[in-house]
Amino acid sequence: MAHALTLNAGSSSLKFGYFHLDTDAGEPDARIVGLVERIGQGQRAHMRAKGPDGAVLIDKEFGRNHVSDHGTALERVVAFLRDRRPDATLSAVGHRVVHGGPDFDAPVELTDKVIKRLAEFEPLAPLHQPHNLSGVRAALELFPDAVQVACFDTAFHRNHPWVNDTFAIPRRFYDEGVRRYGFHGLSYEYISSKLAEIAPHLHMGRTIVAHLGNGASMCGLMGGRSVASSMGFTALDGLPMGTRCGQLDPGVLLYMLQTEGMGADEIQNVLYRESGLLGLSELSNDMRTLEAAAKENERAREAISYFVFRIRRELGALAAALGGVSTLVFCGGIGENSVHIREKVCEGMGWLGMEIDEGRNLRSEQIISTDLSRVRVLVIPTNEELVIARAARDMLAQKEETAA
Ligand code: ADP
């Protein structure tokens, strides 16, 4: 029995999974999934993990500054795993890496050369890529004998038609790598595989997936493959997010530069950390907080309205790009849990053949559309960790085959 660790490093969090692998292509078996949150200077980090039956294995807050970076967070995770599974040796570590640039359209083994290339994409995903790579470096030190595999959020979108891959700026920029990459690919890959399993006839058709979490994007799929995404060159484009602006007229950047005299770092900070739901509500980036405050707080209401409005616009745009839609899937923390957002997104969408059932939506059932709705509307909890574990399993199988 081989064992794999999956790592998914966000700006201040580290999600992890411990899997049993059957390299003869059986589905990886998640034995432990968890996360460390609030990593960073001045913070009290928190680690939580569950077993396969949902039992809580750890729920622990660390002292202030005890987990000040991702390397330390990984050490804590490893100490916890070693405590639970003292005999287990890891055969593989799978990493979520946000940006694979124009080069990578599939998982790849992390060699020195690959890591060096991936570091060149750090400016394209400044909130994620540096953390992803520091996780990779730390894991290489901790597990020098394990196969290290990178799984890219951009890879699932690499075969977009050219019109969805480019911007209308001079061609040399495209050649330099300024392209519409698209993100959340691991989530979309999981949703596509799950749809193939539970509803193969829907999987064959035209699907729009709304991944609505702290980061949010939408993707159009044809026969299970991505053909269009709301996100572009960086993870800033498309829908507004917790703290990111979403689609923005580039003239606004010129205004910030020329009229406000802002510097590049300042603008980056505004667009990545101070915008989106937080910027509009001036209250919080967290949808639960905004929904709770919406009754009394007009700005919280407006932030939610803007979020919903942009999702609806993107829904129409993707339906047009696909030439119709047979399935809409909601996933991500908001998509999986917010009854209100799902209801508002689908309200008045009868013209698109979409109607949701109030009771099914309220219970967050797998299918929330009415029986008469031409478009099936589903809620599918996403599972990026499983996609990473599958890639680790396949890489091990490939290496075994080459060695045989
Ligand atoms: P990330 O992109 O960091 O992985 P998640 O997918 O975990 O984010 O989503 C986090 C978002 O989901 C937050 O805005 C949170 O408020 C929202 N969320 C989680 N549960 C609920 C809920 N029951 N109702 C509304 N929003 C929720």
156-186 pLDDT, tens digit each: 999 999 999 999 999 999 998 899 999 999 9
State the pLDDT at residue 126.
81
| Whether the CB of 98 sits within 6 Å of ligand 1 | no
pLDDT higher than threshold 70 for residue 8: yes
- Please, is 197 exposed, middle or buried when counting C-beta atoms within 10 Å of its C-beta (0-12, 13-18, 19+)? exposed
Average pLDDT on 80-88 reads 86
Question: Which CATH number characterizes residue 370's domain?
Answer: 3.30.420.40
Average pLDDT on 123-129 reads 84
* Pair (367, 309) in one structural domain: yes
* Pair (204, 343) in one structural domain: yes
Angstrom distances, CA of residue 255 to CA of 44, 181, 258, 397: 38, 26, 5, 53
* Ligand 1 probe mutation, 36, 183, 337, 340, most atoms within 8 A of CB: 337
* Ligand 1 probe mutation, 12, 278, 288, 290, most atoms within 8 A of CB: 288
Query: In whole angstroms, what is the distance from residue 57 CA to residue 170 CA?
Result: 54
Spot the catalytic one: 24, 53, 153, 249: 153
* Pair (216, 148) in one structural domain: no
Is residue 103 annotated as part of the catalytic site, yes or no? no
Of all atoms in ligand 1, which is nearest to the CA of residue 332?
Answer: 6
State the pLDDT at residue 35.
94
In a domain, 174, yes or no: no
In a domain, 137, yes or no: yes
State the pLDDT at residue 89.
86
| Whether the CB of 135 sits within 6 Å of ligand 1 | no
pLDDT higher than threshold 80 for residue 24: no
State the pLDDT at residue 108.
97
In a domain, 47, yes or no: yes
Query: Terminal CA-to-CA distance of the chain, rounded, Å?
Result: 18
Pairing mode, strands 206-212 and 92-97: unpaired
pLDDT higher than threshold 70 for residue 230: yes
Residue 24 CA, ligand 1 centroid: distance in Å? 35
Residue 395 CA, ligand 1 centroid: distance in Å? 32
In a domain, 74, yes or no: yes
pLDDT averaged over every residue in the chain = 94
* Pair (110, 231) in one structural domain: no
Domain count, the chain: 2
* Pair (241, 355) in one structural domain: yes
* Pair (144, 217) in one structural domain: no
- 67 contacts: CB under 8 Å, gap ≥ 6: 36, 39, 43, 45, 73, 76
Of all atoms in ligand 1, which is nearest to the CA of residue 13?
Answer: 3
Last residue of a domain, one of 152, 186, 213: 152
Of all atoms in ligand 1, which is nearest to the CA of residue 339?
Answer: 24
- Residue 360, CB-side half-sphere exposure with 13 Å CA sphere: 14
Confidence of residue 85 (pLDDT cuts 50, 70, 90): confident
In a domain, 394, yes or no: no
pLDDT higher than threshold 90 for residue 113: yes
90 is in an annotated binding site: no
State the pLDDT at residue 15.
93
* Pair (346, 213) in one structural domain: yes
| Whether the CB of 23 sits within 6 Å of ligand 1 | no
* Pair (317, 372) in one structural domain: yes
Of all atoms in ligand 1, which is nearest to the CA of residue 10?
Answer: 3
Last residue of a domain, one of 152, 174, 190: 152
State the pLDDT at residue 25.
67
pLDDT tens profile 198-217: 999 999 999 999 999 989 99
Average pLDDT on 312-321 reads 98
Q: 3-state class of 323 per DSSP? A: coil
* Pair (238, 319) in one structural domain: yes
State the residue range of the domain holding 317.
198-379
65 is in an annotated binding site: no
State the pLDDT at residue 344.
98
In a domain, 360, yes or no: yes
Query: In whole angstroms, what is the distance from residue 52 CA to residue 30 CA?
Result: 6
Q: 3-state class of 393 per DSSP? A: helix
State the pLDDT at residue 11.
72
State the pLDDT at residue 26.
87
- Residue 228, CB-side half-sphere exposure with 13 Å CA sphere: 18
| Whether the CB of 336 sits within 6 Å of ligand 1 | no
Instruction: Specify the pTM.
Output: 0.94
* Pair (233, 342) in one structural domain: yes
In a domain, 157, yes or no: no
Q: DSSP state, 51?
A: -
Confidence of residue 23 (pLDDT cuts 50, 70, 90): low
Query: In whole angstroms, what is the distance from residue 291 CA to residue 304 CA?
Result: 8
In a domain, 398, yes or no: no
Say which residue, 70 or 382, is predicted with more confidence: 382
